[in-house]
A = this chain, B = another copy of it.
């Protein structure tokens, strides 16, 4: 007998509960320290009950990565409509930091966890998604950087889209990750996250552009 719609919804809700609790535990305790049994206990399940949803820890991690990288890419979909690639890079940067700030557990799992790819190796479909600007934030940024390169917008010394993408990524990752680890540190005299984000994205772009003055005209 096929499951009823209610059963399907219940199953999906259980799966979501497992994933949400697992994400929190991976981030808090580290991937290595978390077992399927501990995840099951955290939501009042037995390990065998959990096995009906996920075969092992790697499968949970892989599903979380799929969801979280998908959520970040989805966050950027509306930015694809911005015609100017330089403005798009700027908006991607601000949007990236905002995503990290609003979803710190997602962000910590995706970008602040060592050895993630070793414990949850991506499938062939995941690897294909990594190269699709519609499904992956890095690919979307690189695609936009290439557009700006092709339009001759960067200084002539900057020709390598991968190197530029990695630098832009590192800049916004720096703002986002310091906010997560040190944002509530009482000994840091932090300026507002919004100002730090704008100075980072503005300064990096101005430093890379052939004509730095165009940034003010663009934004």
Interface residues of A (CB under 8 A from B): 28-30, 32-33, 111-114, 116-117, 122, 127, 130, 158, 160, 162-164, 166-167, 169-175, 177-178, 180-182, 185-187, 189-191, 195-196, 199-200, 202-208, 212
Chain B positions within 8 Å of A174 at CB level: 169-175, 177
Copies in the complex: 2
Contact of A203 with B200 in the complex, beta carbons under 8 Å: no
Q: How far is the CA of A206 from the CA of B200 in the complex (A)?
A: 12
Whether A181 contacts B30 in the complex (CB less than 8 A), given A170-B171, A171-B171, A207-B202, comes out as no
Q: How far apart are the CA atoms of A191 and B164 in the complex, in Å?
A: 10
**Among the listed B162, B167, B177, which residue makes an inter-chain contact with A177, where contact means beta carbons less than 8 Å apart?**
B177
Closest to A206 in B: B207
Checking B111, B166, B177 against A173 with a beta-carbon cut-off of 8 angstroms, the contacting residue is B177
| Complex contacts, A182 vs chain B, CB 8 Å | 111
Residues of B within 8 A of A28 (CB): 30, 32
Main secondary structure of the interface of A (DSSP, over half): helix
Complex: how many Å from CA A130 to CA B189?
A: 12
A183 to chain B, nearest CB (A): 9
Q: Are B163 and A170 in contact (CB under 8 A)?
A: no
CB distance from A34 to the nearest CB of B (A): 11
Q: Are B207 and A171 in contact (CB under 8 A)?
A: no
A112 neighbours in B (Cβ, 8 Å)? 112, 177, 181
CA of A191 to CA of B195 in the docked complex: distance in angstroms? 29
Q: Are B191 and A163 in contact (CB under 8 A)?
A: yes
Q: Which 5 interchain pairs have the tightest Cβ spacing?
A: A174-B174, A207-B207, A203-B207, A170-B174, A206-B207
**B127→A180 contact, CB < 8 A:** no
Chain B nearest CB: distance from A97 CB in Å?
Answer: 10
Contacts of A173 in B (CB 8 A): 174, 177-178
28 pairs, A vs B, C-beta closer than 8 Å:
A28-B32, A29-B30, A29-B33, A111-B178, A111-B182, A112-B112, A112-B181, A113-B181, A116-B181, A117-B187, A127-B187, A163-B191, A163-B196, A163-B199, A166-B190, A166-B196, A169-B178, A170-B175, A170-B196, A170-B200, A171-B174, A171-B200, A173-B174, A202-B207, A203-B207, A203-B208, A206-B212, A207-B212
